[in-house]
Structure 1
Amino acid sequence: MTQPIWSAPVRFAEADQQGIVFNAHYLVYCDEAMGAFCASRGLSSFAERVRLKSSTLTWDSPVRHGDTVDVYASCSRIGTTSMTMSFEVKVADRTCCVVDTTYVSIDDSGAPQPIPAETAQSLR
């Protein structure tokens, strides 16, 4: 991961009274990064056909109001109907949080469907 897939300055509304980003905003940052990751691979329509199954967040260091948050993304696992994305949330060279999120590919009814082979190749 050499360049962030998504970056933004931390807004005042994202921080608590101590100026530290509230934990739920990390998932918003990852959602933005997921959209950018898929768009950069021509998979925007695929991003609309996946649903979040689970996320695990591990914090190392706080993000604060005034920081610029950088999110690096990679696909760490591809299964038959699901995939796991790994996100590294950083400020400058400091890792603040690592997020592993599993998404499930779905059909129009919301039922799991296989990830097409061409899509799986583009996610790698």
Structure 2
Amino acid sequence: MASFEFPIRVRYHEVDAQGVVFNAWYLAWFDEAMTEFLESRGLTYRAMLDAGYDVQLVHTELDWRAGVGWGEDVVVAVSTARIGRTSFALDFQVRALDDAGERIVTCDCRTVYVVIAVDGSGKQEVPALILNALGDPEPLMPLRP
């Protein structure tokens, strides 16, 4: 299955004094894209919460290759990278068009989420409803040992 793509138009307030998207906005974009990725695969965030589960971001790594600026149309690609017993990792890529109209990757990210119970009882094994939405891992980046 191809990676999911979430479209974004860079808004004025997301751009810093250097004329590119301020780094903190990438995490907000990835959070939105994660929610839409799960929903595109049949799991709304509300349904996950109603089933007694939530996810917590526990680790993220970002590598920037190029900046994107105000008014640019980009997509955030999302793919399942890895599934563990109580956690899973998603890969994100910000993809933009270069001057020649070719799609380029401007940022790579891998984020690890831990499944938790909404009742406060702590981390949980990844339940079937989340496993089904994640599908088989198809990392966008190489897995590290």
TM over 0.5: yes
Report how many aligned residue pairs link the two structures. Answer: 124
Q: Is the partner of 1:66 in helix, strand or coil?
A: coil
2:67 matches 1:67: no
Report SS of the residue matched to 2:78.
strand
Q: Report deviation, 1:43.
A: 1.5
Residue 48 of structure 2 aligns with which residue?
46
Find the aligned partners of 2:121 and 2:73 in 1 and give their Cα distance.
36
Q: What residue is the counterpart of 2:139 in the other structure?
A: none
Q: Which runs of 5+ in 2 are unaligned?
A: 98-102, 136-145
User: What CA RMSD, in Å, does the superposition of the two structures yield over aligned residues?
Assistant: 1.8
For residues 79 and 4 of structure 2, what CA distance do their matches in structure 1 show?
A: 10
Aligned residue number for residue 106 of structure 2: 96
Taking structure 2 as the reference length, what is the TM-score of the superposition?
A: 0.78
Amino acid at match of 2:36: A
Whether contact under 8 Å (1:8, 1:70) holds in the other structure is yes
Q: CA-to-partner distance for each residue in 1:38-93, whole Å, 9 max, x for gaps?
A: 11112223376111111100111111112112011011100011000000111131
1:77-92 to 2 correspondences below 5 Å: 77-92=82-97
TM-score (norm 1): 0.90
Check 1:106–1:55 CA distance in 2 against 1; reply closer, same or farther (3 A cut): same
| Counterparts in 2 of 1:79 and 1:11: CA distance versus 1, 3 Å | same
Code of the residue aligned with 2:95 in structure 1: it is: K
**C-alpha displacement of 1:2:** 4.8
Unaligned runs of 5+ in 1: none
Distance 1:20 1:111, change over 3 A: same
The whole-number CA distance in structure 2 between the counterparts of 1:119 and 1:2 is: 18
User: What's the counterpart of residue 15 of structure 1?
Assistant: 15
Q: Percent identity?
A: 39
Point out the structure with max Rg over C-alpha.
Answer: 2
